[in-house]
Amino acid sequence: MIPLKTKEEIEIMKEGGKILAEITEKLKKRVEVGVSTRELDRVAEDLVFKSQAQPAFKGYEGFPATLCIPVNQVIVHGVPSNYQLKEGDIVTLDLGIKYQGFFTDIAVTLPVGKVDPEVSRLLRITKKALKLAIKKARPGNTFGDIGNTIQRYVESQGFNVIRDLCGHGIGKKLHQEPQVLNYGKRRTGEKLREGMIFCLEPMVTIGNGEIEKTSDGFGWKTQDNKLSAHFEHTVAITKNGCQILTE
C-alpha cells in the first residue's frame, strides 16, 4: 500500500528538499578536473550536518559514505574513493538527507570539463526525460503513464533506459512503496493520488541497458561499459498536479 502524506508532512519534506537542493548546488560548483570523489563526499557530509540534517545513505545497507558518486559507466551507488575526476568524465551527485524525520533524495549527472557531443546529448536527454515524467505526475494518471513517457522519449532519441533499477516512494523511510519504473504501458499500474510522494529518476545509457554489480558490491554499472546518466527529483502529487520538493 502506498502511504499518503498530510499537508503538514509535505511541508516538512519541502523544507528538507529545499535544503537538499541548496547543498547540491554548492556541490556542483566543486566538480572539476583533479578533485577526488572522496573529497566531494567529505564536502557533502559537512554541508549536510551544517544544515541540521542527517545523511540518508551513510550506513544504509552498509553503504560507507554520505554521497553516492557514480562515474562514467557506473549508474548508481558509486562509492567515493581516491579517484580524481578527469577531463571528459561524467559524474553523478546522488544525495539523500533526513530532516525532521523525513527523507528526500536528489541526483544530477554533470560533465567534467569538455565532453563529447554525444555525451552532452545523453545528459540533455536524461534531464528532459525527468522533466517529461514530472509533467505526467498528476492525479488520475498512472505509474504506467510515467514509465511509458520516459521510455518512449529516451528510445526515440536512440538511447535506452536502465530497466532493472527504478524510482521509489519516500517519506519516513528512504525507500517505500511504490516502485516507479522508467518504462511501461499507458493506463497501467496504480493511479496517482494527492498525497503520494516518490522519487522520479530516469537512468539512461548509450548502451544496451544490461547491468551488473561493481566489484565493491555496492554499485551497479553497465555490463557493456557504456556511459550512463541519472537525474532525480523528489515530487509530491497535489490536487493540481505535481510539486517538485527538491528545488
What CATH number is attached to the domain comprising 139? 3.90.230.10
What domain range includes position 131? 7-244
Q: Which parts of the chain are beta strand (E)?
A: 54-55, 67-68, 74-76, 90-99, 102-111, 160-161, 167-169, 176-180, 197-200, 203-205, 211-213, 220-222, 228-230, 233-238, 241-244
Please give the grid coordinates belonging to residue 229.
546518466
Q: What is the mean pLDDT of the chain?
A: 97
pLDDT of 170 above 90: yes
Residue pair 206/117 in contact by the 8 Å Cβ criterion: no
Determine, yes or no, domain membership for 32. yes
pLDDT-derived band at 51 (thresholds 50, 70, 90) equals: very high
145-168 mean pLDDT = 98
Determine, yes or no, domain membership for 149. yes
Determine, yes or no, domain membership for 140. yes
235-244 mean pLDDT = 95
The conformation of residue 60, written as its DSSP 8-state character, comes to: G
Q: CA-CA distance, 198 to 126, in Å (whole number)?
A: 18
pLDDT-derived band at 175 (thresholds 50, 70, 90) equals: very high
Determine, yes or no, domain membership for 24. yes
- Residue 215: exposed, middle, or buried by beta-carbon count in 10 A (0-12, 13-18, 19+)? exposed
Tally of domains in the chain = 1
173-193 mean pLDDT = 97
185-197 mean pLDDT = 97
pLDDT of amino acid 245: 98
pLDDT of 229 above 90: yes
147-157 mean pLDDT = 98
Residues 94-124: tens digit of each pLDDT = 999 999 999 999 999 999 999 999 999 999 9
- In which residue are the cell numbers 534531464 written? 127
pLDDT-derived band at 177 (thresholds 50, 70, 90) equals: very high
Residues 16-40: tens digit of each pLDDT = 999 999 999 999 999 999 999 999 9
Determine, yes or no, domain membership for 86. yes
Q: CA-CA distance, 129 to 132, in Å (whole number)?
A: 5
Q: What is the DSSP string of 190-213?
A: PBP-TT-EEEE--EEESS---EEE
pLDDT of 1 above 90: no
Determine, yes or no, domain membership for 1. no
pLDDT of amino acid 68: 98
Determine, yes or no, domain membership for 2. no
Determine, yes or no, domain membership for 196. yes
CA angle 37/77/176 to nearest 5° reads 140
